Structure 1
Amino acid sequence: MEYQAVLFDLDGTLLPMDQEQFVKTYFGLLVQKVAPLGYDAKQLIDSIWKGTYAMIQNDGSCMNYDRFWEVFVSIYGEEKMKDKEVFDSFYAHEFQAAKQVCGFNPLSKKIVDACKEKGRVVLATNPIFPQVATHSRIRWAGLEPDDFEYITTYENSRFCKPNPYYYREILEQRNLDPKKCLMVGNDVQEDMITMELGMDTYLITDCLINSKNKDLHAYKKGSMEDFLQFIAS
């Protein structure tokens, strides 16, 4: 089948990773960066989780960026917004050390290039990170931001996975027909929900996440190597 567009998840799909290990390393680097500003490590991590949860629950009334910083200000006060420059600097610099706990699969580049030859390619990564952090993770995977016609970040998105409206926003923004699109991801709950919109799906099993132990028989699935053969057929 020819697709109008292929939508890819990033973490655990194009960029192999153990999510728990990545988050632990990421938070450790962040705490180390901002501790000199007077942030308590536990409170900071709790605050980031609260901001993340608020983005996941976003009802579309504002960008995820605004939702996150709204929570941050509610905890620390408006005056702490002056530290946002330090957080931005973290993602541009110290955050890069988190690459060491991620894997690398040379097939990611081959797969994206193969899909680009056949149609349009979108990076549908959960938009809970700023653009600078997302672009970094794209490069860790051996790709470039320009490999995708559109990339979701917390600056340009009003919803998050697994909310179907996250995907609807992409489809509407890019003028895509869901019945002619393929979603490729490793998370059963967050990525395969696109079936509800009429999209075709492919579940990548290399770093499979199936938090609710769903039956996987309904999904086309396989390794990255299997998917490369699938898309080439």
Structure 2
Amino acid sequence: MQQTSGDKPPVRILLADDEAMIRSGVRAILARDPGIEVVAEAADGQTAVELARRHRPDVALLDIQMPRLDGLAAAEQIYRDRPEAAVIMLTTFGEDEFIARALQAGANGFLLKADDPRELLNGVQAVAAGGAYLSPNVAARVISGLRTGRLATDAPRRDTLDRLTEREHDVLALLGAGLSNAEIGAKLYLVEGTVKAHVSAILSKLGVRNRVEAAIAAYEAGVVRRK
């Protein structure tokens, strides 16, 4: 991809799915955004790990169910190689147990293959900027699973949000919508360092390990603000 002087470099994507038609469709959607570049593709999890080591993508977009190595195991290896990498898992409605495992593994984002294509673009840009992203359909599925007992995760109960200050509630609402610290700061007129401090306080007070679990709490509490 060509860049003009002063442009941000494109978000480099590794795309892994064992179905060629799905890969083709996802690639076509990503091509709509000039700020995104697919640098490698894989049809199985082991190849995805090898390509991630070679190409060092900003975001790995992984199907959960793949041969040789599933997406969850591939994500764990990618994180071990590059802790700063971001991973988005592609799921289907019938994979509740995989969603729970992916949450516990610390994935940055979750999308359904049936989601609106705009969710894919929003999700990639959000996690590339350091945020977490749950498509509304995935969030609804996770929350329903938590309430009915189908899913078991370490996400906090809704009543734990009472521990947050009013400003932390504001930050959590935007975090849940997938905004990065810089974007949250712009929305709330805060410097990025202050946002980082608020996010750290939120994670500590809610007893969660990452932004995705905090985002689930925001969805469950009904406080998420869309961009």
Rg bigger for which structure? 1
Verify same fold: TM over 0.5.
Answer: no
Larger relative contact order (C-alpha < 8 A, sep ≥ 6)? Answer: 1
Q: TM-score, normalised by structure 2?
A: 0.30
